[in-house]
Amino acid sequence: MSPKNPPFECGQSPASPVIKRLRRMLTLITEDLMDDFGEFSEFVKELNDYCWRLTKEEKRFLDSVLRLEKELKDSASFVIAVENVKECHAEVTEAVDSQI
């Protein structure tokens, strides 16, 4: 790579601590990430506050986490509905089993 285009490294900008935290959160399984959605959103907002100072690679990362945040937010009601159905199914199954 040329010196003009250094590889993406977190230590290069003031946004690096936020990027590191977001990258760490992205290693979580989806359920855990949804449980920590408030914290994830705060970090995304904080990174977005740096948007005018981000490198090209960091802006791409920001775009990706903004897209993920939107998808998680849009999917949350569906996931909650599925969890409610699973819980209801478990209750009905338990009630039927106790009657047998």
- How does residue 1 score in pLDDT terms, banded at 50, 70 and 90? very low
* pLDDT score for 2: 46
Number of domains observed in the structure of the chain? 1
Give the max Cα distance, the chain. 74
Residue 6 lies in a domain: no
Q: Contact, 33 vs 40, CB < 8 A?
A: yes
Q: Indicate whether 24 belongs to any domain.
A: yes
The residue segments making up the domain with residue 40 are 12-74
Distance CA 51, CA 54 (A): 5
Residue 66 lies in a domain: yes
The two structure tokens encoding residue 90: 């478990």
Quickly state the pLDDT bin for 82 (edges 50, 70, 90). confident
Output the pLDDT for position 59.
Answer: 93
In a domain, 1, yes or no: no
pTM over 0.85: no
- Is 40 inside a domain boundary? yes
**Nearest Cα to 7, choosing from 78, 57, 75?**
57
What is the model's pLDDT at position 98? 79
Whether 99 is in a domain gets the answer no
The answer to the question of residue 30 being in a domain is yes
